[in-house]
Amino acid sequence: MSAHDFQHYLSEFLARFLPGEVGAARNTIMSYRDTFTLLLRYCKAHEDITPEHMRCELLTKELVERFLASTETERGCGPATRNQRLAAIRSFCRYLQARDIERIGQYQRVLSIPKKKTSTTPPHHVSVDEIRLILAQPDASRPTGRRDLALLALMYDSGARVQEIADLTLGDFRADPPATVKLTGKGNKVRIVPLMSPTAALVQRYAEGAGLTGAASRSRPLFPNRAGNKMTRTGIAYILDKHVATARKSDPAMLTETISPHALRHSKAMHLLQAGVNLVYIRDILGHADLKTTEIYARIDGEMKRQALQSAFTNLTPPDAMPLWHQDKDMLTWLTNLGH
């Protein structure tokens, strides 16, 4: 291989192998890209190796360990971020093993670098009353208020990641009973999540008011920005921040901490747990990946998930936002299992 073997393999790894053969999500590829951008910058600044002179033979265990140390000492990253950078480099080395066999021992030494232990802290979540206060802030008489209320209620009720909300199209939302939303999570894994009738009614009312109706609109973003494109994570965070700030003014004692979009997801999980829902059920509902063998066989069918969600449901939306609501007496049996 030429002196530019590193550049060749890295470009093939990021542009062809990850999206084409692995089927990695775009966010994963971008995270890996950022890792190698930081690695090349580190090599130029500290190892006297410019990007154009980087070669595979220089990707040693010692170099990678020095780079990882710099992420903590110079960039102030924690063990979790350091481990994320290591995971990207490990993946690249596994790719190289089958293509640069002469250096297989070198790559295996890189693969032997251990992850650092990370401290486990309880996820930040907010109470049911705090969620209710936040959802009471959007002005449902205005189009933007109906959008914000639908977005925030959907994000909480589904326990979705913020990117999953941003990626939603109108076709992912089903308003007819049983109301559901199709979420595409990490690794492009798709799951079907149930929605309570009040949440579905909010989203339906917003969509109709925004002109998101008909077959031609099914591929359009459910929550577009002003340009008609899907919202960014930053845009969704801005909407939440705006209404949290308003809620905090109305009741400063209740909302004392910063609330991120992911805190709504944590809150949904905690509220399910507090309602007595099994952790395995919560894992399935939120789309968490867990490789424990015992949990591989702990998949539960749609009816059990329906019962778990129904028992934990609390209507948090403002009573005057949708005056024609009818409270659920029972949720209809799933037509398809969650996660399929």
Reported as a single tens digit per residue, the pLDDT across 118-175 is: 776 666 788 889 999 999 999 999 999 999 999 999 999 999 999 999 999 999 999 9
Query: Could you tell me where in the chain the CATH 1.10.443.10 domains are found?
Result: 128-312
pLDDT tops 50 at residue 212: yes
**128-312: what CATH class?**
mainly alpha
Q: Where in the chain is the domain with CATH 1.10.150?
A: 5-111
Per-residue DSSP letter, 17: I
Q: Taking the model in full, what pTM does it have?
A: 0.65
At 109, is the pLDDT very low, low, confident or very high (cuts 50, 70, 90)? very high
**pLDDT tens digits, residue range 271-291?**
877 777 777 777 777 877 653
Name the CATH topology of 5-111: DNA polymerase; domain 1 (1.10.150)
pLDDT-derived band at 325 (thresholds 50, 70, 90) equals very low
Q: CA torsion sign, 213 to 219 to 220 to 223?
A: positive
Point out the residues that are catalytic: 161, 186, 262, 265, 288, 297
Helix boundaries (H) for the chain: 5-12, 26-46, 61-73, 79-97, 104-111, 128-135, 143-158, 162-166, 197-209, 233-250, 261-274, 279-286, 293-296, 302-312
